[in-house]
Amino acid sequence: MKGKHIGCFLLVLLLLANSSRADDGYRLWLKYDLLRDAGKREAYARSAQFISIQNNSRASSDPVLKTAAQELQAGLQGLLGKPVPIITSVPNKTGGIILTTGTGAESQSLNDEGYQITRRQNNLVITGKSSAGVLYGAFALLRQVQTLQSLEGIALTSSPKVRYRLLNHWDNVNGTIERGYAGSSLWKWYELPERIDPRYRDYARANASLGINGTVVNNVNASSRFLTGEYLEKVAALANVFRPYGIRVYLSVYFPAPKTIGGLNTADPLDPQVRQWWANKTKEIYAAIPDFGGFLVKANSEGEPGPQDYGRTHVDGANMLAEALAPYDGVVMWRSFVYKADPKGDRFKAAYEEFKPFDGQFNRKVIVQVKNGPIDFQSREPFSPLFGAMPRTPLAMEFQITQEYLGFATHLVYEAPLFKECLESDTYAKGKGSTVAKVIDGSLHGYPITAMAGVANTGSDRNWTGHTMGQANWYAFGRLAWDHTLSSEAIAREWVNMTLTNEPAAVSQITNLMLRSREIYVDYTTPLGLHHIMGYGIHYGPEPWKANASRPDWNHTYYHRADSIGVGFDRTATGSNALSLYAPDVQKLWGNAETCPLPYLLWFHHVPWTKKLSTGRSLWDELCTRYYTGVDSVAWMQRQWTQVKPVVDPEIYADVAGRLATQHKEALWWRDACVLYFQTFSRQPIPAPFKKPERTLDDIKRLVNTYQLR
């Protein structure tokens, strides 16, 4: 008994030490600090006197079940400040948490990864058809406690709406991350497989807590190095860490790998030797990683090689890889981000024109992965016209969590509203209510496999995402990939409660700030449907005047088309006619400049500077108003953040405050650049009460050029 008391005493000391230290953001939303409300602690503790796996003998052979019990134990001990033992199953014992798998009546409403949390015979019971479902249920129960929800009469049932829920890492073999803004890669390839960084496990824990069940570890601009025996051993070491958390690894593949590492003279997907090479390589991968998830492919896009180099099609390339995967439980995710340099064309139409003709021709193991919009992860885009247009081909959603076009890691932009805006858009493919979400989850067209991918914003920075508030975007993606019906507000409140503070007024204030942040960013960067006017190459800051790129569709003047008459890209029948790719009801929504919603106006119409809009202002005056009020709104964000200082960890508070100061400076940069540049076409005065920028357009161009220097 004396040893037991000493153990309890040391546990309490450890918990107190953890709760008093400065918070550097490393723990993300998995903060299991002692709950301050003693009454709530006691109420929760009455339901958490022990943890038991119903068939305990299975725990030793099922690493995911074991992980579920251990995560639940660690979380509850931290939150409640007392030991919660994991015990063998004891009949008639009450007051604890039972973990159980099975296919009984209680789990009939669940899919393979769903969970149910109920109270039975004075025990909390977490049930899943699979051990992964139990793990997700364990994290869901912890989330209930972290957000101070009652466990009395609890009856939670939840199943993921999408089967494959993945992060896509654009990480390179040299440790850099393409479009990464939080340090270098998480993966230390030169240390693997001998040394396993503890951070790998913490990464897996964070993903599993959201229901993310797959990760593509390398850049879509891939290196064939990852398919060598040397590197497969390294990837297998990561897979071993991720497996107890229900996470499978995937690889982006370099299409000419049969030539670069296989010694063949060709990578033609119809060549028998090439097909055999891929079959042999796939067998080698599964020998090293039995639960390997499959391949992600970027081909014939932005200089990346692919089947078109050999006169073949995307179907030929994807189906070849699917054939290699035929003996295994893996899939091919073939990206539709393909566009050609055409000065007279419209990049908006490129993916549709490339892939729509192939609907129904892809192998059953192929998923075509489509970016949410038709251009490239802009701060606002109409949904891609491919959604709803390929009923016989499973389409995966690709969102970008990393803020390539949303201010990197210095701008606070909560992305859930952007994700939801796309998911809730109506394609009208089968009449009203045919939302993008219903395309993605398979319910609209009956897709046999479904997927949602997010381009990750993680890196080696101690807080994982550079901007602490950027963690909320990782969190939001995971929650929406699991259940796209969740609201942006509900997700934000969860995250704030779990990550920043439980103080009700502050939770509401921070949540409101987050919900407004995306629209504020749009206002001071690309209002009314302007798009693709960011700094060239690195995509940092404004550069709407860019007109000398190496290909026409990399010029920013290609997209905004400003002239003395007006601004905007005419995509109606009088222009590129890209609007015709959508269903008639969508065309009606966006096709008339008089009634087109203002957020999409310049996406589809070239509008005169003097045209009066629904706001009562001219287009020029409305643009100026958006730019100026957007900057003012960042100042409002700063004031809101100042007010929550007393209840937010000092280290996190200071970090976010500093980044908000940078955001305000850069919002002014965007405002001045765009107002002064577009004024050279509109020849209109800046409307009252706004004052003309103090610096000149030449001043700003010199600043932009600074960021282009080598």
One-letter amino acid at 26 equals Y
Q: Is 376 considered catalytic here?
A: yes
| DSSP one-letter code for 375 | S
- Write down the catalytic residue from 316, 404, 543, 621: 404
| DSSP one-letter code for 448 | S
User: Rounded CA gap, 557 and 544, in Å?
Assistant: 7
Q: 116 pairs with which residues across the strands?
A: 127, 157
Length of the chain: 710
Residue 386 near residue 427, CB atoms below 8 Å: no
Element (H, E) at 158: strand 155-158
User: Rounded CA gap, 202 and 680, in Å?
Assistant: 52
Residue 158 near residue 114, CB atoms below 8 Å: yes
User: Rounded CA gap, 40 and 502, in Å?
Assistant: 13
| DSSP one-letter code for 693 | P
For residue 452, what are the contacts with CB-CB under 8 A and spacing of at least 6? 162, 164, 165, 166, 396, 397, 399, 440, 480, 481
Q: CA geometry: angle at 644 spanning 641 and 645, to 5°?
A: 95
SS3 of 171-224: the string is ECCCCCECCCCCCCCCCCCCCCCCCCCHHHHHHHHHHHHHCCCEEECCCCCCCH
Q: Is 23 considered catalytic here?
A: no
CA distances 194 to 175, 235, 245, 251, 327, Å, are 17, 12, 21, 20, 30
CA distances 313 to 108, 308, 346, 358, 362, Å, are 43, 6, 21, 9, 11
Q: What percent helix, strand, coil does the chain show, rounded to 5?
A: 45, 10, 45
For residue 104, what are the contacts with CB-CB under 8 A and spacing of at least 6? none
| Neighbour tally for 350: CB within 10 Å | 21
| DSSP one-letter code for 126 | E
User: Rounded CA gap, 673 and 530, in Å?
Assistant: 14
Q: 36: helix, coil or strand?
A: coil
Pairing of strands 331-335, 607-608: unpaired
User: Rounded CA gap, 284 and 165, in Å?
Assistant: 25
What does the DSSP assignment read for 311-353? T--HHHHHHHHHHHHTTSS-EEEEE-------TTS-GGGHHHH
- Write down the catalytic residue from 42, 112, 302, 424: 302
- Sign of the CA dihedral with 131 first, then 134, 140, and 145 last: negative
Active centre residues (catalytic): 302, 376, 404
